[in-house]
Structure 1
Amino acid sequence: MNDLPYRPCAGVMLVNRDGRVFVGQRLDSTLEAWQMPQGGIDPGEDARDAAIRELGEETGIAPDLVELVAQAPEELYYDLPPELIGKVWKGKWRGQRQRWFLYRFLGEDRDVDIATAHPEFRAWRWMEAEALPAAIVPFKRALYEAVLAVFRPHLGAHPAD
């Protein structure tokens, strides 16, 4: 298991005007767990481009409705629990190494459409940032705490001008 590489991935913390964070419930899980948009980086793809692509694929949010606020200075990692290694991602990865980006959502709730061409979420909502670690599956909790620590200085409400 330790010989397997980490899957390259990009993640998006998307905050609305109230400083709340977008989270979705995965279609492939019955757990009451919420996660931020994230997904694999294609070979030759820039991490920021992958983040915007994944955001669109998972939320239907157009790139012109988001504004980059910050980027994590380094990759963040998580390991799959032993019972999932070999069962997800065709057994090729031991976990993920992720580049995280903080974006501000400039649109309205009606601009979110999780019924995309390849849907990943069955439900979505805006959540208080501090509630994120408790809402994610336990094996990603430390990762979400790290993402929150990196972006905390940039969080807060930003009412429309």
Structure 2
Amino acid sequence: MSVRDLSLYRPNVGVVLFNAEGLVWLGRRIGTPDPWNWQFPQGGVDKGEDLEAAARRELFEETGVRSVEWLGQTDDWLTYDFPPEILNGPMKRRGNIGQKQMWFAYRFTGQDAEVDLTAHGEQEFDAWRWADLSEAPGLIVPFKRAVYEEVCAAFARFAA
């Protein structure tokens, strides 16, 4: 396997939010057709921003959730390449070939009523649900699936 030039990838964070029963939070992306329209919260990292601070910010912006305790994070960046329709579309001007992601796991310590998909101006999801961690890779767009499989393996201990 070749070593990837991480400078070609947009820095990003992802969050797996576990509830007390070990289920994970999944959001249904607005405007993404079935069947691959459910995903974990994720988003870009601002220049100079601490990665965990970015993860907490993205979690709040996309879900309204602040009541969490840190469980862990992936050891290294996980990468995926954009498919041609994205690479030649919305991401072309940025010059990135994909995203490099650091993933964080948190335990939700609040109540479900805390979830507010409109907490931030730009709404990412139109629905959400708790699910078994093993469901996530089969619900994400195929070009992100390998990363989701790695994340699920890394965080499986938190689902127990």
2:32 aligned to which of 19, 29, 32: 29
2:79 aligned to which of 66, 69, 77: 77
Q: Does 1:39 align with 2:39?
A: no
Q: Does 1:146 align with 2:150?
A: yes
Q: Does 1:105 align with 2:111?
A: no
Shift in Å, 1:90? 4.7
Identity of aligned residues (%): 47
Q: What secondary structure is seen at the aligned counterpart in 2 of 1:83? A: helix
Conservation of the 8 A alpha-carbon contact between 2:21 and 2:159: no
Q: How is 1:82-97 mapped onto 2 (pairs within 5 angstroms)?
A: 82-92=84-94, 93-97=96-100
Matches of 1:87 and 1:52, distance apart in 2: 28
Which shifted more, 115-124 or 135-144? 115-124
The corresponding residue for 1:127 is: 131
Conservation of the 8 A alpha-carbon contact between 1:28 and 1:120: no
TM (normalized to structure 1)? 0.89
TM (normalized to structure 2)? 0.89
The corresponding residue for 2:118 is: 115
Matches of 1:80 and 1:103, distance apart in 2: 27
CA RMSD in angstroms, aligned pairs only: 1.5
Matches of 2:158 and 2:113, distance apart in 1: 25
The corresponding residue for 1:159 is: none
Matches of 2:127 and 2:150, distance apart in 1: 25
Q: What secondary structure is seen at the aligned counterpart in 1 of 2:138? A: helix
* Count of aligned positions: 152
**Letter paired with 1:108:** Q
Q: Structure 2: where are the runs of 5+ without partners?
A: none
Matches of 1:109 and 1:154, distance apart in 2: 19
